[in-house]
Structures are given as C-alpha cells and as structure tokens.
Structure 1
C-alpha cells in the first residue's frame, strides 16, 4: 500500500510538506514543490487516509438517512433527492432502511452515531420510538423529514398534507361527487392524520358527512388500498369517489374497482397523494394525484442540516412545502399521452363543465371482500 512517505521520497520533500499540499495548509507551499507532490501522488496512486483526516477535522462529510421502507416508491424518490442534494454539497449519504420496525430503526440510529456521521436525516417509522430518545440525547444535528414527531427538538421539512388533501377532495366535489371516501394510512402517523383532516375539512365545508363507513385505514401500501377499496365499494350506499392518502393505496384501489367490474372514473373516481409513482402515469386511466415536490423537500432538508452542522442555524425551523394537484383520468379530467406526465404542469383544480362525469348507477359487485381482512377503522379525531 502506498504511503505518504513514498510520496515524499518520490517528490524529494518531507512528509509534512506532502501533508500541507494535500490539506491546503496550514503552511504555504511553493508552486514548483506543490507540482512535484501532486505529480508523485498521481504516479503512485496515493489515497489519503479518510478516517484519519476525519478525526483531525472532526468531520466525516457523511450524512445518515433513515427511511421507514426503501421499497416504497415515495421514499425511494425522496432518498434520491436527498442523495443528489448531498452529493452536490460534497457529502456522501448512508441509507438505513427500518422496514417499519422500531427496533431495526434504533439499531441503525446507533450505528450512525457510532460511525460519527456529521448529521442525520430522519423519517420516523412510528410516532413513538426509542430512536427519538436516542437522538435527543446524542445532540447530533438532525432534520426530521416528511413527518412530524413529538419528543424530538429538531428542524423539519414536510409537505402541506392537510391543504393537499383538502385540495384533492374539493376537486372531486367539483366533479359532482358527494359520497367521497377516505382511504388512509396508519392513524399514528402525522401524514395520515393531516390528510384525513384535510379530507374532513372539505367534506364538512360542503355540508357533507365524515361518518366512519366512508373511512378506512391501514398501511401505506397497495394491499391495503386493494382490500380497503373492496370494503368501501361493497358498502350500501357505496361511495362514488375515493381519496387515497398515498399513490400505492390509489393503485390498489384501482385494482379492486376493476375486479368488481367498476369503471374508473365513470363508476368511481380516484385521486391519490404523493405523485411520485412512475407507474401512476401509465395506469389506464392514469392516476390523478396531489404531487409532493420531493426534490425541493430533499434539497431543503440538506440545506437545513448543513446549516446546523456548520453552526449557522441556532434555532430549529419547521418548513412546510406547498403541493399541487395533477388532474389526470381517474378523477374524470381529460386524459393526456403518457409522455406528457413527466413534466406535468400544475393544472387548474376546477374541471371544465364539459368534463364532469355523469354519476352512473352502481353495478352489482360480482365479488365481496373476505370478511377476515383486517382494516383498522380510522379512530383519530378530526381537528
């Protein structure tokens, strides 16, 4: 293995001078000497010891990112946005996947802290977790991303979940729907609670009920969307529209509607939340959604974290990022070619009168959901 001594011998100088060149100080080095050192480094293929350099500088230039489930397209896209922003600032990102398990989450937190990451971006897997206490004790600069969490004094970056859900539900109301169901995620997560509250805001604002038969909750995944939609669409009377609190739920709901012989959007309209699933633009019809600006969220989270690390930010901040509505075919708006969805401009949230669907009579469902399917009724109170 090539050492700093080898570089010094080839360049005809001392190891201290080699160190000054590689570290840009603390003493100046003549241009000719610097050129000899750099030529020797290149010829020998010398690589400085990053661990030793980090210990001296008390910085690793490595950040930790902890996500609840890396297989979820939303978290995968958000992780990519974080990594891009970190790379542009000269930092590497190490990813931890908690798979929605608080014990695994805690193990990753401890590994990150033992590895002396400069800072941590944290998307909590649950509202209560031993990781929260661990992070609070550690004093490591931390930014909470996507969700809010009690018990941890940290900066945060979240999307405007409540406003986005209200926007989606109002869009369905403008299409003429009155029985609009909520298909949501775990009630203990702030994102699920805020999205349900936004749905309830819009329904109550229109003088409509938010009774429990119109609301079911489970995980943020396709299976929950599928079984939840089966349960909703076979109720009497059935909803004419569904607001799904995640893209994955919306895709599952579309499958359930297909199996029941329901046409989307003629028999049931669907709008989801997230707007990041690539498959959503290629479903038939394509999935309308509230789109979260994940690139903006990732960039702002990195900027906040680097400010905390540098000490230029002394107080914690909570930033809420605006969302927008992407109206596609599943809500009853005109379809566009799939190629147009990658750069979807922000559409009007009010459909043209000519595009409002006629609400057809409900078909008799050919199948009923398995009564053994366990769907948690939404018990979180509305604000």
Structure 2
C-alpha cells in the first residue's frame, strides 16, 4: 500500500474496486466499512480501508448507497421565511443536530405561499428524504395534503403552539413566555397596561402569546392595553408601532410577538422622536441573537432553539425508524420552557 493502483490515476472517478485492490480486501469489505455493516469488519482491516479511501480520494456513490441502506441520510425542512432570524437560527440548529447523527439537511423557504410550500414538500419527498420538518404556521395544510396523497414520509411539525392529530409537534411555552415579559413590565416597572403587537396570522385560541398577555393583566388586576395585529416582519412591527404610538392614549409599554416585529417597532419609536425606554418600554418574544444587538437591547422571552432542534430531529428519525410512526394516533405535543432575558428596552 502507498501507491495508487494502476489504471486509476487520470482515468475517471475512483471506484470501490480501486479501494478494495489498494487495501487488499474484497469489494464487499469496502462496502461494509463505508455503510457501517451489515457485517462487522475487524478494526485493523477497517483502518486499512479508511486509509485507502483517504489516499485515493474515494467518494461513495450516494444514490447506490441510499439504495443499499434504504435511506438517503437526508432530512427536509420547510420554513415560511428563511430571512427571519428565528427561522434562520432554527435552521442552523437543525442542521447541526442532523449532522451529529450523520444526516444532511435540504431546506426550502416558502415565503408563506401554500403553493410553493406544497411543491417544495413534494420535491423533497421525491428526493427520498428520510423525514420532513415543517413549520406549524403553514405546515399543517401541507401535512394534510401529503397524507391525502398517500405520501409515507414521516412529518414532524416545529414551531407548533398546539397539538396536531397524527403528528409529533415541537413548540415552546409561548403563553408562559409572553406572560413573563408582561408580568415584568407590569410589576417591576409598574406600567398601568401593556399593548400587544401580534402576528396577523396568529390564531388567538391556539397561538398562546395573546393568552399569556391577557393572563398577566388579569393576575395583576390591570386592564389590557391595545392589540395591533401585523405581519411577523420588521415592516409589520414598524407600521403597527406607528399606529399605536400616534393614538391619543399612547401606550407606555408594548410587547411584540417576535423579535423581528420589535426591530421594526424600534425604528417607529425613533421616527416619532420618542425614546426607549423613557417614553415607551419594549419587550419581545423569540430571543434571537438579533435582540442582543438592537439599541436598546431587547428584553425578550427566549425560545430554546438548540434544544427544540435536537428534539425535532430525534423525533423525525424515530418516526422514520418506526414503520407506524406516520400513522394517525402518533400524536404528541412537546413543549419547551422559555427564558426571560433582561435587556435595556424595558427600563432595567
């Protein structure tokens, strides 16, 4: 060993047979080492095969390997907006969690378009991904359509605020998270009420954020502030902030349903010649890295993205391994607690 076998250099891609000749083993042994089975190989022999692979620059045929294993070692992820810091950080966390287990990740951003989302999901399924992770906000429609078409790819819903029949759902305790930031503004900073900018696509009955906002006011015997629905975007937060802050009874404190809305709201405050937190205190929900780089830094309820990502990847792989994992009746809603992160925007 130590030289390339004759007939391989400069004559196209290195094959498994080349590796076998170089290592002095059979093609089958190379396959067992590359695929981790089905038969075991002694460590000295496996080391010789790995050295041959490294020396020759052999890259296994992923299609053939997938056929042999019955798995592409690939997961699919569909999110509504890959530019949203929350989904961007969630995607990176899922990619890391998948890589730890030897899986690659294919990602699609639907732009909140159900047609784009469905085409993306079907394309990922055509590529034989081992499982799909769908953001709950738009993913429930697509998950139902996949089931109607008889697609057997396991599906786990992430960013989910409530259960969904027949699926494992992963989400944070949104009601408790918003309750905590509103409680902080009411009790620690003694605001009479807190207004809420919430996503215009959020279902108040299942989303949780508005529920937590109301609960904190009720517990403190305060009348809730105004609610301003707006898209979960910077523009949405900005425009909702302008509407709220130009009212005759201007709120002294506002909570947003996402960090992205809070970023837009900060700009609205600045444009109107107001100051944070002196004229209006702010807090948000999400806890992305962006919240720590705003001015003032945001007080926020942080979702445990890394933990949720690991749980989502684990759940979809368990469903993939279990032939009944995709059947109705496999419902389970997993909820993760948020952390209150104190910044300067609340007045602390």
**Shorter-chain TM-score: what band?**
0.7 to 0.9
Q: Give the deviation of 1:277 after TM superposition.
A: 3.5
Show the 5 A alignment for 1:1-383.
1-11=13-23, 14-26=26-38, 37-126=49-138, 129-135=141-147, 137-148=150-161, 152-174=165-187, 175-189=189-203, 193-210=207-224, 214-278=226-290, 280-311=291-322, 315-333=330-348
CA distance in 1 between counterparts of 2:280 and 2:191 reads 9
Q: Which runs of 5+ in 1 are unaligned?
A: 334-383
Helix, strand or coil at the partner of 1:138? coil
CA distance in 1 between counterparts of 2:256 and 2:44 reads 66
Q: Give the deviation of 1:236 after TM superposition.
A: 1.7
Q: Which runs of 5+ in 2 are unaligned?
A: 1-12
1:124-165 residue CA offsets vs partner (Å, 9 max, x unmatched): 443763453215632322211012477652101101001111
Q: Decide which moves more: 288-297 or 23-32.
A: 23-32
* CA RMSD between the two structures: 2.6
> What TM-score, normalized by structure 2, do the two folds share?
0.85
Does structure 2 conserve the Cα–Cα contact (< 8 Å) formed by 1:291 and 1:323?
A: yes
Q: Give the deviation of 1:215 after TM superposition.
A: 0.8
Q: Give the deviation of 1:206 after TM superposition.
A: 2.9
1:230-272 residue CA offsets vs partner (Å, 9 max, x unmatched): 1111112121110111111112111111221222112111101
Does structure 2 conserve the Cα–Cα contact (< 8 Å) formed by 1:105 and 1:125?
A: no
CA distance in 2 between counterparts of 1:298 and 1:241 reads 32
Q: Across the two proteins, how many residue pairs are aligned to each other? A: 330
Residue 273 to residue 14, structure 1, CA distance change in 2 (3 Å) = closer
Q: Give the deviation of 1:301 after TM superposition.
A: 1.1
Residue 258 to residue 118, structure 1, CA distance change in 2 (3 Å) = same
Q: Give the deviation of 1:281 after TM superposition.
A: 1.9
Which residue number corresponds to residue 337 of structure 1? none
Helix, strand or coil at the partner of 2:138? coil
Residue 190 to residue 48, structure 1, CA distance change in 2 (3 Å) = farther
> What TM-score, normalized by structure 1, do the two folds share?
0.78
Does structure 1 conserve the Cα–Cα contact (< 8 Å) formed by 2:159 and 2:171?
A: yes
